[in-house]
Chains A and B, each alone.
Chain A
Amino acid sequence: MDFTAFKEKIREEAAAAGISQYELLYMTNDSVSVSAFGGQIADFTAGITGGVCFRCIVDGHMGLAYTQDLSDSSARSLVLRAADNASVIESEETEYFSEGGGDYEDYEPANMAQAAPEELVNTVLSGLEALKAADEKVTDGCSASGGATVQEMYLMNSNGVDLKYRGSMDYLFLEAVVSNGTEDNNEYELKLGEPKDLDLNDIAKKATDKAVSMLGAGTAPTGSFPVVFSPEAFTSFLQVFSSSFSSDNAAKGLSVLKGKEGEVIAADIVTVIDDPFYPDNPARINFDAEGSPAHKKAVISNGKLETLLYNLKTAHAAGRETTGNAHRAGYDSPVVISPFTMYLVPGEFTEEELFEKAGNGVYITSLGGLHAGANQITGDFSLMSSGFMITDGKKGEPVKSFTVAGNFFDMLKDVTAIGSNIKLPMPLSSTAFASPSVLVRELSVSGK
């Protein structure tokens, strides 16, 4: 059955089960993706997927169940399972659904014309050719992929909240594989936009140049050095440690920022903003996963922690308003607290000026193994890195297979200069991160 009929069925089943407080979320994704290898299309995938999640509050406790099966019997089972799950929750925090009626900002949702499959196929094949033409070191291992996706979401609850979101976007992803005869390297470049608007040669050149520049890389020396992080590298830090800004993690003793609101936690040049309407992110939206209005806010302002991020539950527990940061990765995921697009506000320097300020140090362009080498609770990190030496204030030879180690929160206090070159490297998610280049006074590097 369709969602409208399913919604009615849920209403009946909830009433029959004596459940008066509930919420229904429906998400669908209509997407086409194409990938090419060796001069021809290798994979083509198309489909509509999605599902529905029912949440209910029974005696102050939240229960949920989700399904992709929109049948009569499924509606009944969904309601009963959610209620049963609610009945065994032991957490003492009281749960709430949005009362609605908030101030939802006007905004421009992403609305790219969904590329036709033929158009995607042509773009991807041309992208692959552009890679081949970009540099003589490019190998046959290159690949190109592209996609078009339309996402829809409906959120309604028993308090009368009834919200709808629709966003669409197209993307192209080029992976350059290059070789100098003795070693291979790969790099990629991702660009959003309708196929007709993309400059394929420019995207290919960026991916290829990055890959070629790392060929013949040595290993960095071991020691303590000034470090300049590229926008991509520093974005990785924001992504990994953003969980520390969740008031839920703070309340549970899983964040070092517990009790630090209003305190200075970073150098005074550091300002971090969370913005649901960040222009470069197509996943712009004016409500959060609980239906509260979403808005732009400073998280760190000139080094001071202005606020953690809250949802309805943690805001009530703290006796304050939600910041509208309830988030769900999908209909099949629970509500967590996370930013929309969180970014470090750019400073005034070019990367070259940051290298000059660093003197002799390391320029890190890529960090790996973030899910393993970074402790989200303590802020400690020890991460595989690649980049370039900085010698006498200038970018020098490429280096890889070394690690950089430190503590994220100590590092925030040690930021000595910020670049003007902000970038949002992975704009494919409703939680995204952007950063300019950043100079840190000193970090531990382990290499040869």
Chain B
Amino acid sequence: MIPMETCRKVLERATATGADYAEIFAENTVDHLISMISGKVDNINDGVTAGAAVRVYKGLRSVMATTIDTSEEGLLRCAARAAEALGEGTAEISFVLRERLFGDIHPIKVVPSAVGNREKIEILRTGCSAAADYSKSIVQTTGRLLDVDHKILIANTDGVYAEDRQIRTRLMVTAVADTGKGSQTGTCSPGRRMGLEMFDGEVDAAAAGREAARQAVVMADAGYCPGGTMPVAIDNGFGGVIFHEACGHSLEATSVAYGLSQFTGKLGEQIANEKVTAIDDGTIPNGWGSVNVDDEGTPSQKRVLIENGVLKMYMIDKFNGRRMGMESTGSARRESFMYVPTSRMTNTYIAAGTDSNEDIIASIDFGLYAAQMGGGSVNPVTGEFNFAVNEGYMIRNGKICEPVRGASLVGKGSEIIKNIDMVGSELLLAQGMCGSSSGSIPTNVGQPMIRVSSITVGGR
């Protein structure tokens, strides 16, 4: 994208006022999103995000300047702006750029940007039609097919000169069902770091449509969930959002480095039930949240965050790592060059345990079975989190009973992970978009079925 010699000149300009580190991040991203409603293509959003950011550090100070002019002159102006904002001084470091090769462990067969609209529309139509045809209770369907071709270049004064090309595809189907008790929705949104070959065996578009419709139909007949504190069984897949919100965000250097996380200073301590082992793995081939190299040029890694309840590792980027006196774990991510990168999750999940799903359900006299979770959020300072239960059922006397709508789960992360006292064996990952200070990025959540012995269920 940008020749090595240009990068060298730009980094030299960026460090001219005494920075002890400088970095260029350049990108050219093509996003293509087709939206369908009632089985008809309604809208296409299609475009190019292209530009660069120059960052410089001096100690614990970071300055970033951005530009959409990626000519050599434009980049040099951008570097000068960053250098001048850092202060007055003279160059103190020297560096040699070397091209780094990161093996691409995410093979792409059908590059989406090379495929025309009509072929993509048929895939989307397959998903939406399957949802519409599922039941006569389905009153509306919406679907979106997203493909992203994200090319990035990172050059920094650690000598890194690296490129990556991140291609991702995702199908999102939503169905609305109404049986006279008020409409309810169901969604299914499979995605991978793959091209359109994702639909040749890995993901069945029609099955995604049927799953969205199934959830909507089940919930359309459901009454409201009662509120109160009770045990909850949370199923695998997107159920993993509980770890993502209750614990994951609080293990990011974004909050840990500033002493703003409930887990600051707890390395080596028992912070969770011993049944809990949690992993952040950016190296899963074709995984939705995978990267070959993070947005600071550090190779992606697989890291055990919590092992048998003991805190082993945080997720760390270079800048926050300075404040913590720790190395980057390859966790720096940003939505685009317009965002300052920070430490984020990739594919983050609770590892498989040894309990059976049957035993988990049978262990609950009165509680909630959360079959499908919705999104959530957390305040890392207090650890208070919440998320929605999209498909829930009451459990009575160890048996799954009637479906219930409108439930949400709230709690405090450091308490809830101690209450995860049963962990099933069937690990499943599910795709989401995670929002934080460095923008919206693709992440996988995941877990086997778990039991939370006690949690506040919001209902009515």
Contacts and interface: CB of A to CB of B under 8 A. Distances in A.
Given A69-B50, A81-B46, A403-B408, A43 B68 contact: no
Nearest to A69: B50
Contact of A401 (B53, B340, B411): B411
Interface string B385-397: 1111000000000
Interface string B4-33: 000000000000000000000000000100
A74 B82 CA distance: 28
A247 interface: no
Interface stretch (B37-45, B88-96, B272-280, B343-351): B37-45
A75 to B, nearest CB: 12
Given A143-B258, A405-B227, A373 B458 contact: yes
Interface in A82-140: 82, 84-85, 87-92, 117, 139-140
Contacts of B375: 369, 371-372
Nearest to A88: B117
Interface string B245-270: 00000000000001110100000000
B386 A368 contact: yes
B98 interface: no
A369 B388 contact: yes
Interface stretch (B56-64, B189-197, B302-310): B56-64
Contacts of B229: 448
A44 B408 CA distance: 38
B453 interface: no
Interface string B65-103: 111100000000010011001100000000000000000
Interface residues of A, number: 79
A158 B388 CA distance: 46
Contact of A369 (B224, B228, B340, B386): B386
Interface in B354-382: 374-377, 379, 381-382
Contact of A334 (B43, B376, B459): B43
Classify the interface of chain B: helix, strand, loop or mixed.
strand
A64 B44 contact: yes
A301 to B, nearest CB: 26
Contact of B386 (A84, A333, A372): A372
Interface in A215-245: 219, 222
Contact of A372 (B66, B78, B184, B376): B376
A46 B41 contact: no
A42 B51 CA distance: 24
A183 B459 CA distance: 27
Contacts of B207: none
Interface string B110-145: 000000111001000000000000000001101000
Interface stretch (A259-267, A276-284, A374-382, A390-398): A374-382
Contacts of A298: none
Given A41-B61, A369-B387, A375-B185, A446 B50 contact: no
Nearest to B62: A43
A380 to B, nearest CB: 5
B376 A369 contact: yes
Nearest to B255: A141
A53 B49 CA distance: 12
A133 B140 CA distance: 56
A38 B64 CA distance: 20
A155 interface: no
B259 A141 contact: yes
A49 B50 CA distance: 10
Nearest to A43: B62
- Residue with the greatest number of chain B CB neighbours at <10 A, chosen from A51, A62, A368, A403: A403
Of B116, B139, B460, most A-chain CB atoms within 10 Å: B460
B185 A377 contact: yes
A53 B47 contact: yes
A379 B405 CA distance: 13
Contacts of A184: 260, 262, 381-382
A64 B45 contact: yes
B376 A252 contact: no
Contacts of B82: 46
Interface string A162-179: 000000000000000100
A446 B45 contact: no
B234 interface: no
A65 B46 contact: yes
Nearest to B384: A401
Given A184-B381, A382-B407, A382-B408, A401 B176 contact: no
Given A85-B44, A372-B374, A382-B388, A186 B117 contact: no
Between A51, A89, A333, the greatest number of chain B beta carbons within 10 A of the residue's beta carbon is seen for A89
A213 interface: no
A382 B338 CA distance: 34
Contact of A222 (B64, B183, B228): B228
A13 interface: no
B406 interface: yes
B67 A47 contact: yes
B258 A141 contact: yes
Contact of B258 (A37, A67, A84, A90): A37
B412 interface: yes
Contact of A45 (B45, B46, B60, B65): B65
A49 B456 contact: no
A64 B61 contact: no
A378 B63 contact: no
Given A48-B67, A67-B48, A382-B408, A446 B227 contact: yes
For the complex of A and B, 10 pairs with smallest distance between CB atoms: A446-B227, A403-B458, A47-B66, A444-B460, A66-B47, A384-B386, A372-B375, A369-B386, A90-B40, A405-B460
Interface of B: 31, 37-38, 40-51, 53, 60-68, 78, 81-82, 85-86, 116-118, 121, 139-140, 142, 176, 182-185, 224-225, 227-229, 258-260, 262, 338, 340, 374-377, 379, 381-382, 384-388, 405-408, 410-412, 456-460
11 contacts: A45-B66, A47-B65, A47-B66, A51-B49, A68-B51, A84-B117, A88-B117, A89-B41, A368-B386, A369-B387, A382-B388
Given A53-B47, A87-B117, 7 more contacts: A48-B67, A65-B47, A91-B43, A184-B262, A378-B182, A384-B384, A405-B227
